[in-house]
Structure 1
Amino acid sequence: MSETALIDNCLTQMPPDSIVMADAGYGIFSVAHKVQQAGLSFLFRLSRQRFDRLRKTATLVDEGANWKTWSSQWQPSPSERKKHPDLPADAELSVQLHEFETDEGKPLYLVTSLDESVEMLSDLYARRTDVETDIRNIKVVLDTENIRARGVEMFHKELMTSMVACNLIVQFRRQAAELVKVPPRRMSFKRICTTFRQFLLSSMYTTAADWRERYRFALGIALQDKLPNRPGRKYPREAYRRRTKSTHFKKREKRSEAEEE
Structure 2
Amino acid sequence: MEMHSFPMAKIGVIFSLVTGAVIAMCIDVMNTHDIKLARKLYSFLKPNDVLLGDRAFCAYADMVAIQQLDCDAVFRKHQSRTTTMRKGKIVGDCDKLVTWCKPKKCPKGLSKDEFLALPASITVREIYYYIVIPGFRTQRVSLIATLLDTTTYPTLEIVGLYGKRWDVELDLRHLKTTLEMDVLRCKTPSMIRKEIHVYLLAYNLLRSLMWSAGTTYNTPPDRLSLQGTRHHLINFIPKLEAADSKKRLRLYRTMLKIIAHKAVPDRPARNEPRVRKRRSKAYPLMTKSRQKLRKQLQTA
Q: Which bracket does the TM-score occupy, shorter chain normalised?
A: 0.7 to 0.9
* TM-score, normalization by structure 2: 0.69
**Secondary structure, aligned partner of 2:230:** helix
CA contact (8 A) 1:19 1:43 kept: yes
Residues 249 and 85 of structure 1: CA distance in aligned 2, closer, same or farther (over 3 Å): closer
**Secondary structure, aligned partner of 1:146:** coil
CA contact (8 A) 2:92 2:155 kept: no
Cα deviations by residue, 1:162-214 (Å, 9 ceiling, x for unpaired): 22222221222123223542211111111111111122257732532343233
1:126 and 2:163 correspond: yes
Q: Which stretch shows the higher mean deviation, 203-212 or 133-142?
A: 203-212
CA contact (8 A) 2:50 2:74 kept: yes
CA contact (8 A) 1:62 1:69 kept: yes
From 100, 106, 119, the equivalent of 1:81 is: 106
CA contact (8 A) 1:21 1:42 kept: yes
Residues 118 and 201 of structure 1: CA distance in aligned 2, closer, same or farther (over 3 Å): farther
More helix by share: 1
Q: Residues of 2 paired with 1:239 and 1:93: CA distance?
A: 40
Aligned length: 251
Instruction: Report what 1:31 is aligned to.
Output: 62
Query: 1:147 deviation in Å?
Result: 2.6
Q: Residues of 1 paired with 2:55 and 2:238: CA distance?
A: 41
CA contact (8 A) 1:101 1:108 kept: yes
* TM-score, normalization by structure 1: 0.78
Unaligned runs of 5+ in 1: none
Unaligned runs of 5+ in 2: 1-31
CA contact (8 A) 2:219 2:260 kept: no
From 228, 235, 240, the equivalent of 1:191 is: 228
Instruction: Report what 1:10 is aligned to.
Output: 41
Q: Residues of 1 paired with 2:119 and 2:256: CA distance?
A: 57
The within-5 A match list for 1:110-189 is 110-115=143-148, 116-189=153-226
CA contact (8 A) 2:95 2:126 kept: yes
Q: Residues of 1 paired with 2:273 and 2:48: CA distance?
A: 32
What percentage of aligned pairs have identical amino acids? 20
Query: 1:134 deviation in Å?
Result: 1.9
Question: Of the two structures, which has the highest relative contact order with CA contacts closer than 8 Å and spacing of 6 or more?
Answer: 2
Residues 240 and 175 of structure 1: CA distance in aligned 2, closer, same or farther (over 3 Å): farther
From 97, 121, 139, the equivalent of 1:71 is: 97
